[in-house]
Every structure is written in C-alpha cells, then in structure tokens.
C-alpha cells in the first residue's frame, strides 16, 4: 500500500488515491463506533474478530466495576479494541503517507500494527485490571494480560486455522508485549518507531491511551478537552522514533494530565475501590472451588473467564461459595465496606514508601472498647501519576520545530509555562472498615498509625461522626 505525501503549512496532505481507498473499504466490514464513527475491518482482522475468543471481550467491561458508581461506564473491551485497531491503522497510514518511501513502510508493517491494535487486549482478565493486579497477587500468582494476549493469538490461529504468515504473528506479539525491551535485537531495518504506536514503552504516548481516554470520559459523562487528532495528524518519525511538533507540547501534557484526572475521579474513586476490595475478597474465597487461578495459564480454559464470574457465584447453591456469595449480595444491596479516611503520602516519603497493610492499622490500635482483627480492615494504596512514576513523562518525549527540520529535541517545562506541575505522583492511602459497627475503631487506629508514622495526622479531613458511629 505504497503512498507518498507532503507537509503543507502544518496540514496533512495525503496522496492515497480515492479509488484505492474505496476499494479497500469495499473489501472491508463497516462497524459504526460511537467515538470514531465508521470503522472498517479488513478481511484478515475480521477472521480474528469473528471468533469466540475475541467476542469474549464483549463480556469484559472496560472499566471493570466502575459502573456501580458511574452507571454509564458499561462499555466493553470489545469496542475499545476496535477503536485501537482503527487508530493504529490511522497512525501508520498517516506516517506512510508522508514518509513511507523514506522509512520503507510496507504491507507487512501496516498489517502487523493494525492487528496489534486489534488484539492487544485479547488476553485481558475480568474486571479490568483488578483480576491481574489485585486478585492474582492475593493468591500468589504472577501473570500479565499482555503475555496472555500473545498466547491467545497463537491459540486463535491454531484453533481456527487462520491463514497468516508466521512472521506476521511473531511481529504482532512483539508489538503487544512491547516495546523496546521485548523487541528482537536491533537491526538496520527493524523500524523501531512501529513499537511507539500501540503500546509505547518509550514515552507512553500511544493510540491505546488515545482511545480509552476519550471513550471512558464519554461513558462516564465527563468532558474531555484532550484532542488526540491533533497529535495523530502531525506525528513524524525522526531517528526511528515518533516525534511531535514543539507547538503541540501542551497537547501532549494534556494527554497525561487528563489520564491522571480520570484515575483520580473515576478509576480510583473511593467507592469504586471499596467495591473492588469486596470483589477481590469474594474471588479469593471462591478461588479453590472455581479454580480461577489455575485456569489462567491455558488459553483453552482462560478464554471462558469473564465478568460473569460474579453471577456464577451469586446464583450458585454450593455451600462452599456462601462467604463469597454473601459479599456479592452486600454489593447488590449497597452494604459496602465503609470508607473511614485517607491521606496523601508526604512527598519526601514517596521514594521509600511501603504499602500500608491491615496489620499496620490493627497494630496501631490503642486500647478501647473493641479489639480489631486484620480481617476487619481493608486498605487501598492508590498510586496516581502521569505515567512514569515520580518522573516527568515529557522529559522522554522528543519534538521537532517544523516540517522542514530534521532535528529532534527535548523541551523543558519552564520554557513553556510556569503553571505546569512540578511533581508527578500522588500516593493515597485509604482505609475501610468491613463492618459498619467498627468504623469508629478503625478510624481511630488509622489516625494513630499516621501519628506514629509521620508524627502527625496526614489526612486532610476528619471522618464524619455519623459514619464513625453507624450501626
């Protein structure tokens, strides 16, 4: 799909012929998406979409349990995957239109990037990242959905006898498991910039974020003033790396700040975390009976796991699942773990911060009317950053001045604005009581912990008295 193009006053001008594009779309299936409009699936991609393993993504909510707080957040990994497929294709086509001959982009590159976008989440677990980051560590299992996506691709190809070149499959898996660390050894023709498109381990700017930031904001009824189109239209490869116009610096910064805002207000919402803590407890109690952790290494078993696990537990008559069933019933009746309080870890403590545990809270209890046990307390350690921990993500992003320049360079924040953040990570510790009658005792123990740890209470608000004494 060779093409040439030119830059004209900052506007992308493509020389793809209208007849060629029309032919491509006639051979494709059109899907109407509420974020990107018409999405066209090519024949090879459609072979993957039309499998039960990919269709499983319809049963995985993109935001896990967030819909218990934001009722509109019921979109799935399925439409997100289609969106990333479409944006990955748009990105590689844009680069090809202007630098295709220079970079040696060919059909192989275009197809692998699009498939990587489509299949990047095919190995994702139930309940968004909760399954992978909260439940599996609880049962001492180390696992990543990216690695499972790679296994699922092989499994789908084998089971459905999809005719696809082995080198295409290999490259797709590399682009997903990503990025520079997992790429094959560098060679002159490796085209490292391709790893920047779907899962960018170099600096965090990728079409996966472009899609979920806009899609999640819309589903939750929130405004989104990050315009990914501006970056998509003007990206340029310099020294085998995708770079951005210097004048788009604040748009890039908006990407990371919008992501952080979503984490603070949606993904890490205090009530969402309370429900997640309850679901992790329920899954842990049901694990032995349902064999959840034992099915994650084998694709033929794993693809049958989805968000319906909760309904399976809830409707089961098995007495061994009673404790898990009771927890899910509490969620349905809004009898949640009770939020007691939170504090933000002081900046000078972040480098050596160790996750706070229920044991830390219980051991901080001063003699009182009740004696707390570890099983009475739940703790959520919430990290919110701009995607690179305590580092400024823009320190790893290269820019170019204009389309006549072939030089790339870094930009310091203070050259753009003094209003940009000077610190890039928050760590928030939240404590919950699993029993309403223990809120007062847990709250006081939490306050004692802060005084013992930091010499003062670090929280910015007191637990309301009506919550402390709730029965």
Residues forming the active site: 145
Q: How far is Cα 286 from Cα 313, in angstroms, rounded to an integer?
A: 8
CB distance 256 to 110 below 8 Å: no
* CA proximity to 213, closest of 273, 274, 266, 250: 266
**272 token code pair:** 């969402």
Distance between CA atoms of residues 396 and 221, nearest Å: 32
Q: Give the three-class secondary structure for 184.
A: coil
Cα 183 to Cα 78, 85, 94, 201, 202: the distances in Å are: 26, 20, 23, 11, 12
Could you tell me which of 143, 150, 114, 115 has the C-alpha nearest to residue 129?
143
Torsion of CA 140, 142, 145, 147, to 10 degrees: -150
Phi, psi of 429 (to 5 degrees): -105, 120
375/434 Cα distance (integer angstroms)? 8
Q: How many CA atoms lie within 13 A of 157 on its CB side?
A: 20
């Amino acid at each position: 799909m060779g093409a040439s193009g030119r830059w004209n006053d900052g506007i992308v001008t493509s020389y793809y012929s209208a007849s060629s594009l029309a032919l491509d779309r006639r051979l494709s299936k059109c899907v109407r998406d509420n974020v990107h409009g018409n999405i066209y699936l090519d024949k090879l991609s459609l072979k993957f979409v039309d499998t039960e393993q990919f269709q499983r993504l319809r049963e995985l909510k993109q935001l896990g349990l967030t819909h218990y707080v934001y009722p509109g957040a019921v979109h799935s990994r399925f439409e997100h995957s289609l969106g990333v497929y479409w944006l990955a294709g748009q990105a590689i086509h844009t680069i090809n239109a202007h630098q295709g001959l220079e970079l040696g982009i060919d059909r192989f590159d275009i197809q692998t990037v699009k498939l990587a976008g489509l299949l990047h989440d095919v190995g994702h677990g139930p309940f968004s990242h909760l399954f992978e980051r909260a439940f599996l560590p609880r049962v001492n299992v180390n696992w990543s959905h990216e690695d499972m996506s790679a296994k699922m691709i092989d499994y789908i190809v084998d089971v459905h006898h999809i005719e696809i070149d082995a080198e295409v499959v290999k490259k797709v898996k590399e682009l997903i498991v990503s990025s520079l660390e997992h790429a094959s050894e560098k060679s002159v023709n490796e085209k490292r910039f391709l790893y920047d498109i779907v899962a960018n381990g170099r600096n965090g700017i990728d079409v996966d974020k472009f899609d979920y930031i806009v899609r999640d904001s819309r589903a939750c009824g929130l405004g989104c003033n990050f315009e990914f189109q501006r970056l998509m239209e003007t990206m340029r490869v310099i020294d085998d790396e995708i770079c951005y116009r210097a004048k788009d610096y604040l748009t890039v910064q908006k990407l990371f700040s919008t992501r952080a805002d979503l984490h603070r207000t949606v993904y890490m919402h205090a009530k969402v975390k309370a429900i997640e803590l309850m679901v992790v407890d329920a899954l842990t109690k049901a694990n032995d009976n349902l064999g959840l952790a034992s099915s994650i290494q084998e694709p033929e078993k794993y693809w049958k796991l989805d968000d319906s696990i909760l309904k399976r537990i809830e409707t089961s008559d098995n007495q061994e699942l009673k404790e898990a069933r009771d927890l899910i019933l509490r969620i349905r009746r809004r009898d949640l773990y009770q939020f007691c309080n939170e504090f933000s870890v002081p900046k000078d403590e972040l480098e050596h911060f160790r996750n706070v545990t229920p044991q830390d809270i219980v051991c901080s209890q001063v003699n009182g009317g009740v004696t707390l046990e570890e099983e009475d307390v739940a703790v959520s350690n919430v990290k919110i950053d701009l995607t690179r921990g305590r580092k400024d993500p823009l320190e790893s992003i290269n820019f170019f001045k204009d389309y006549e320049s072939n030089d790339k360079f870094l930009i310091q924040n203070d050259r753009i604005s003094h209003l940009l953040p000077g610190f890039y990570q928050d760590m928030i510790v939240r404590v919950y009581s699993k029993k309403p009658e223990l809120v007062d005792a847990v709250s006081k123990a939490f306050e004692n912990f802060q005084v013992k740890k930091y010499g003062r209470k670090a929280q910015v608000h007191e637990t309301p008295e009506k919550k402390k004494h709730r029965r």
